[in-house]
Amino acid sequence: MKNNNKVKSLFICLMLIMSGFTVAACSQKEEENQHKTAINEVIEHLFTGPDEKFIDLLQNPKYRTVMNNQEENPELDKYIAEVYGPYMTDSYLNPFINTILSQYSSFAYENGFKLSLNTIKINQSENHPTLYTFLAEVGYQKNGDEEKTVNIEAEVLFSSKEEGKIEGFQYINDNGLSVKLRESN
């Protein structure tokens, strides 16, 4: 009888340990999927367009007000919070807008380019669970000309404090896309 209880206890312990590993593996896979979804959504918004609503809210003076000697644009803030807020830390949202988002959308819009995200491949770093790389094929086209493509590579860092939120693009190689978008002819 004692031996039978020991076997049952050992079996239960093994099952609990295996359950723990299964839950941990599922949780890690769920987090990885959440990170990949965030990257995909941000890159899709960034390289499809240009985003004319963003440009209108950014450039149209009717959306800007001055409060306490500071310019504010509550409609733009609301739009960015809806589109990018779910994927970015609060501290990274403004730097992202001022550098990456403004650059591609503004240049494409001002010089008559259309952008399209053709493919994206996302990989998690083996050594750093919050670091991902992506390779995106982006099409760009001007005035109905034949579409050209460029590969964009970047590293995306996720916050270890705010689950599922991007806290930085550490490196971006756009293989000259930003220069091409500046060309007016």
What local confidence, expressed as pLDDT, does residue 87 receive?
96
Counting as low any pLDDT under 70, the low residues of the chain are: 1-31, 185
What local confidence, expressed as pLDDT, does residue 45 receive?
93
Cα–Cα distances in Å, from 15 out to 2, 6, 11, 19, 30? 20, 14, 6, 6, 22
Q: Tell me, what CATH number does 171's domain have?
A: 3.10.450
Q: How far, in Å, CA of 73 to CA of 76, rounded? A: 5
Cα–Cα distances in Å, from 178 out to 43, 95, 172, 183? 15, 17, 11, 9
The pTM for the full model equals: 0.80
Helix axes 102-110, 52-59, angle to 10 degrees: 90
What local confidence, expressed as pLDDT, does residue 15 receive?
53
Q: How far, in Å, CA of 123 to CA of 156, rounded? A: 10
Q: How far, in Å, CA of 25 to CA of 13, rounded? A: 18
Strands 131-142 and 113-124, bridge-based pairing: antiparallel
The C-alpha R_g of the chain, in whole angstroms, comes to 23
Beta bridge partners of 140: 115, 148
Other Cβ atoms within 10 Å of 126 Cβ, number: 7
Residue 122, domain extent = 2-182
Q: How many domains does the chain have?
A: 1
